[in-house]
Amino acid sequence: MPQGQCFPAGHASTGFALMAFYFAAYRARRHALARAALSIGVLAGLLLGISRIAQGAHFVSHVLWAGLICWLVMLALHLALPAGEHPDSAGHVM
């Protein structure tokens, strides 16, 4: 790969994309599940990013920037989209 063509970290972004489940669970008022989803997304992104760092394909800053970009895009979408109504386990709209 030509020098300077590896930003941001794509593999890490794949893992960080799992953070989207945080927002889905948060909107459904499932806060424990939201925290778990956030933890899994951050961990997956970091693990994928660290593996690429070990291969010499990225720097730590590339991985961190990928995580921040993913988070900001998801946050912007979360804030921009209407919340809607969510049924509870019995099917009643909350």
Q: What is the 3-state secondary structure (H, E, C) of the chain?
A: CCCCCCCCCHHHHHHHHHHHHHHHHHHCCCHHHHHHHHHHHHHHHHHHHHHHHHCCCCCHHHHHHHHHHHHHHHHHHHHHCCCCCCECCCCCEC
Report residue 40's pLDDT band, with 50, 70 and 90 as the boundaries. Answer: very high
**Residue % of the chain over a pLDDT of 90:** 55
| pTM of the complete model | 0.79
